Amino acid sequence: MHTINPPLDNVLWVKVTGKLSKEEYADLVPSWERMIARYGKLRLLFQMEPGFEGWEPMAAWDDLKFSLSQQNEIERVAMVGAKKWHEFAAKLGALLVDSEVRYFDDSEIDAAQRWLRE
């Protein structure tokens, strides 16, 4: 399941829990495309709630395809989580795209927001 908070300037905040399906991922893409159309660049706060179990394989594949096709328009991604594998997912994502990707612990949500607005 996912929740999209109202954007603050060019920062979009998405919270995810459970397992992100292909259909749910497809619901996220239009919000990202609107932000890119409006601001030219996307800054994303991707908050992985404690119950987040990851992506279904097709959702992960779609995420990779979107990230690679839009990497010039994705300026920064702050991935916020509480589990060691959340941090690993952020580091892996940073290797796969030409965007700034940083991991923040749940307790650092304010720092993640500040970094995205810099």
Please report the domains of the chain, with CATH numbers, ordered by start residue. Answer: 2-117 (3.40.50.10600)
* Tens-place pLDDT, residues 56-80: 989 888 888 888 788 788 899 999 9
Rounded to two decimals, the pTM is 0.85
Residue type, 73: E
> What is the per-residue pLDDT across 76-110, written as a single tens digit (0 to 9) for each?
999 999 888 778 777 877 777 778 989 999 999 99
Distance CA 99, CA 70 (A): 10
Find tokens 């304010």 and name the residue. 110
